[in-house]
Structure 1
Amino acid sequence: MFCPRIIFIVLRIALILGLLFAYIRYTENRNLFRPSSEIEALPKEAGLDFEDIYFKTDHNVILNGWFIPFKDAKKTVIFCHGNAGNISHRIEKMKIMHMSGCNVFIFDYKGYGKSKGRPSEGGLYHDAESAYNYLLSKGIDKKILLATASLWAGLSRSIWLLNINYWV
Structure 2
Amino acid sequence: MIGTSLYFLQEKLFFFPTVLEENYVYEFNYGFEELNLIASDGAKLNAVHFKVENPKGVILYFHGNAGDLQRWGTIGEYFVEKNYDLLIMDYRTYGKSSGKLSEAVFYSDAQLFYEYLKGDYNESDITLYGRSLGTGIATYVAGKNNPKQLILETPYYSILDVAKHRFPMLPIEKLLQYKFPSYKFIKDVECPITIFHGTDDGIVPYASGRKLFTAASLSKTTFVTIQNGDHNNLIEFDLYHTRINEILL
Q: Which residue of 2 aligns with 1:97?
A: 79
What value does the CA root-mean-square deviation take over the aligned residues?
2.3
Gaps of 5+ in 2: 152-249
Q: Which residue of 2 aligns with 1:57?
A: 39
Matched, 1:129 2:118: no
Q: Which residue of 2 aligns with 1:106?
A: 88
Matched, 1:166 2:149: yes
Judged with a 3 Å threshold, the aligned counterparts in structure 2 of structure 1 residues 150 and 113 are, in CA distance, closer, same or farther, namely same
Judged with a 3 Å threshold, the aligned counterparts in structure 2 of structure 1 residues 162 and 117 are, in CA distance, closer, same or farther, namely farther
Partners of 2:43 and 2:74 in 1: CA distance: 28
Partners of 1:29 and 1:162 in 2: CA distance: 28
Q: Which residue of 1 aligns with 2:239?
A: none
Q: CA deviation at 1:30?
A: 2.0
Q: Where does 1:13-162 land on structure 2 (aligned, <5 Å)?
A: 20=3, 23-38=5-20, 42-44=26-28, 47-137=29-119, 139-142=120-123, 143-155=125-137, 156-162=139-145
Partners of 1:60 and 1:41 in 2: CA distance: 23
Instruction: Pick the structure with more helix per residue.
Output: 1
- Percent identity of equivalent pairs: 23
Partners of 2:148 and 2:112 in 1: CA distance: 16
Partners of 2:91 and 2:34 in 1: CA distance: 15
Partners of 2:27 and 2:150 in 1: CA distance: 23
Matched residue SS, 2:76? helix
Q: Which residue of 2 aligns with 1:7?
A: none
Question: Which has the greater radius of gyration?
Answer: 1
Paired residues, what number?
A: 147
Runs of 4+ deviating beyond 4 Å = none
| Aligned partners of 1:58 and 1:130 also within 8 Å | no
Q: Tell which has more relative contact order, 1 or 2 (C-alpha 8 A, sep 6+).
A: 1
TM-score, reference length from structure 1 = 0.76
Partners of 2:27 and 2:58 in 1: CA distance: 17
Q: Which residue of 2 aligns with 1:6?
A: none
Q: CA deviation at 1:129?
A: 0.7
Partners of 1:136 and 1:59 in 2: CA distance: 22
